Amino acid sequence: MVRNSIKKRIFPQIILYYLFTVIIFYSPLDLSSGYAQEGGNTSIDTVLQNYNIEELLKIKEYLENYREKLIQEQVLEQQKGIEVSKDFLQKSRIDIENQDQILIRIAEYYIEEESDLYAARVEAYNQEYDKYEQQLQDYQDGKLKVEPLAPTFPRRNYNRAITIYDIILTEFPESELIDDALYNKAYLLGDMGEEIAAQEVYQALIDKYPESDYVPEAYMHLAEFYFQPKLGQGREETIRNLNKAAQLYKNVLKFKESDRYTDALYKLGWSYYRLAGADPKHYSDAILYFTLVVQDIEKFQELDPEGKYIKANIKPEALQYIAACFVDTAYTEDGVNKANNYIGNLGKPDFGVDILKGMGDLYARIVEYDNSIRAYNTLLEVYPDYAYAPLIQKKIGDVYAEDQEIQSAYNAREQLYNRYNPKTQWYANIELSDMDERIIILDQATNYSEEALRSNLIFQLNQSQQPCHHR
């Protein structure tokens, strides 16, 4: 679950920061330098309300001149991008108290600019590739004598922003934004495909600033490097890398307040699930961490019912892989019994339904019909009041039918009708409950029970029309 955008402290839009920088440090108007302090009580909008149109135009001119001056003072240095001139830095040390913040804004501007430029390069590449495909077709048809060369997909180039971060790291080692600079530099290097360099910077962030809010993120990125399969990677190297990834994910668990905590649990489950292919004992670890994912999500769902902050979407996947662990015979010969004991030891949580249902579905898919029916029946025994019990009973009948167990399928349908039709206690319990979807649930139960009764009546009618064989 890697983030697609650079994580940074919450700042207003880049243009507004350029504006307040110009107002504070370059405007001839008499303003308090207190506005430059991040988190101050006076907003930019409030400041602007004090100016007339002529003064605002003057500020706009200062803004444009300031940006142009920065661009003109930058020089290309090998392939490291544009460097802010020493003259600017020396002058700023005297005249500007918050130059590290200004440099952060400049870097952010360069990142946004590169995003636009990259999008343009990709569009140009797509056009070139369309031409290449036509030329290749012409070559294959004999219209061209020389085979065309495919265009190269463009790479991102954040060198200008990285150079700004390097300036902050070298010139402002005491800045409170130093960890921002390190993290963002590492992230950009990774986004450019320079994974090894990115790993070194992430590690430097962890070593130098262990209390930084970015440390859990850094650990996640380090772990992802080892978790992701590499082209040509052998079995032994894969195992070593997965073990390294697991240890790094565990480091994230030290930061319980981090929003990457659940991600780390999930990736630990995945790491051990993959390791179980080489050593089935790791299925126990995978089940443990996938269960912790589910419990962690459920714990916070009451506080965040709309799912704005918790990653509830990974809960079904975690439950699916718990079921898959129990189904694998390399782990246990009796997955249903082992899962039932596990769920019992947890106190029969609601999500036990999903585990047993998932097992029943998986067993049916791999044509282990007996185990599929056992899993479904265990679900109904452990959770007799389950709202979707009629569906599970229907699945039992369907599996019997798939296995050509005609009489057993008939019996399963008969049980469906007898247990879940509108005159049953189960139906009455659901009807009196406060479930939001009880009407839908009851309609479904009615439809399934009527369908089961109808199917059995048709079966009986067909049986009665079979010719009798007498001795």
- Between 83 and 449, where is the model more confident? 449
Mark which of 193, 208, 223 sits at the end of a domain: 208
- CA-wise closest residue to 337 among 329, 326, 346, 345: 326
What is the rounded distance in angstroms from the CA atom of residue 422 to the CA atom of residue 434?
18
Phi (first) and psi of residue 76, to 5 degrees: -70, 130
Q: pLDDT-based confidence at 14, cuts 50/70/90?
A: very low
In three-state secondary structure terms, 435 is coil
Domain with 417 in it: 385-463
Residue closest to 6 by CA, chosen among 268, 204, 308, 218: 218
Residue 230 pLDDT class (50, 70, 90 cuts): confident
Predicted confidence (pLDDT) per residue in 324-351, tens digit: 999 999 999 999 999 999 999 999 999 9
d(CA 138, CA 135): 5
Calpha distance 341→347 (Å, rounded): 10
d(CA 344, CA 342): 5
Q: What is the pLDDT of residue 81?
A: 38
Nearest to 71 by CA among 3, 189, 160: 160
Averaged pLDDT, 24-35: 38
Contacts of 455 (CB under 8 A, 6+ apart): 413
For residue 231, what pLDDT is reported? Answer: 83
Q: Distance of CA 124 to CAs 110, 128, 130, 193, Å?
A: 21, 6, 10, 21
pLDDT confidence band for 299 (50 / 70 / 90): confident
Tokens of 177: 């934004």
pLDDT at 281: 95
Euclidean distance between the first and final Cα of the chain, in Å? 72
Residue finishing a domain among 160, 182, 208 = 208
User: Any idea which residue has 């995003």 for tokens?
Assistant: 115
User: What confidence score (pLDDT) does residue 119 get?
Assistant: 96
Q: With cut-offs at 50, 70 and 90, classify the pLDDT of residue 313.
A: confident
Most confident of 33-47, 110-124, 292-306: 110-124
Cα–Cα distance, 220 to 227 (Å, whole number): 10
When divided into structural domains, the chain yields a total of 2
Q: Are 346 and 382 in contact (CB under 8 A)?
A: no
Q: Which residues face 76 on adjacent strands?
A: 82
Helix or strand holding residue 25 (H, E): helix 14-25
H helices present in 228-281, as ranges: 235-252, 261-275
Residue 222 maps to a domain: no
Counting residues of the chain whose pLDDT is more than 70, the rounded percentage is 77
Query: Residue 416: inside a domain, yes or no?
Result: yes
User: By the 8 A CB rule, do 35 and 23 touch?
Assistant: yes
Is the pLDDT at 5 greater than 50, yes or no? no
pLDDT recorded at residue 232: 85
Is residue 84 one of the residues assigned to a domain? yes
Which residue type does 82 have? I
Q: How many CB atoms sit inside 10 A of residue 399's CB? A: 25
Interatomic CA distance for residues 387 and 383, integer angstroms: 9
Long-range own/partner contacts, residues 34-39 (CB < 8 A, 24 or more apart): 36/97, 36/98, 36/101, 38/11, 38/101
- Which pLDDT value is given to residue 457? 93
Separation between Cα atoms, residue 406 and residue 218, nearest integer Å? 58
Q: What percent of the chain has pLDDT over 90?
A: 68
Domain contains 373 = no
d(CA 332, CA 342): 13
For 371-381, the pLDDT digits (tens) are 999 999 999 99
Asked whether the predicted pLDDT for residue 387 surpasses 80, the reply is: yes
Burial of 143 (0-12, 13-18, 19+ CB in 10 A): exposed
- Which of 208, 241, 271 is the C-terminal boundary of a domain? 208
Q: How far apart are CA 43 and CA 41, in angstroms?
A: 6
Q: Does the pLDDT at position 53 exceed 90?
A: no
* 420-464 pLDDT per residue, tens: 999 999 999 999 999 989 999 999 999 999 999 999 999 888 887
The CA-based diameter of the chain, rounded to the nearest angstrom, is: 118
H or E element at residue 75: strand 75-76
Is residue 55 domain-resident? yes
Q: Pick from 10, 16, 214, 5: which is nearest to 102 by CA?
A: 16
Query: By the 8 A CB rule, do 220 and 259 touch?
Result: no
pLDDT score for 213? 94
The DSSP result for 163-216, as a single string, is: HHHHHHHHH-TT-TTHHHHHHHHHHHHHHTT-HHHHHHHHHHHHHH-TTSTTHH
Given a cut of 70, whether residue 51 has pLDDT beyond it is: no
Percent helix, strand, coil in the chain, to 5, is 70, 0, 30
Of 403, 419, 425, 404, whose CA–CA distance to 452 is shortest?
Answer: 419
* Cα dist from 211 to 63, 183, 187, 207, whole Å: 36, 13, 19, 10
User: Do strands 82-83 and 75-76 pair parallel, antiparallel, or not at all (unpaired)?
Assistant: antiparallel
- Which amino acid belongs to residue 17? Y
Per-chain mean pLDDT for the chain: 84
- Is 174 inside a domain boundary? yes
- Using an 8 Å Cβ cutoff, are 276 and 286 in contact? yes
341: in domain: no
Q: Residue 2 above 50 pLDDT?
A: no
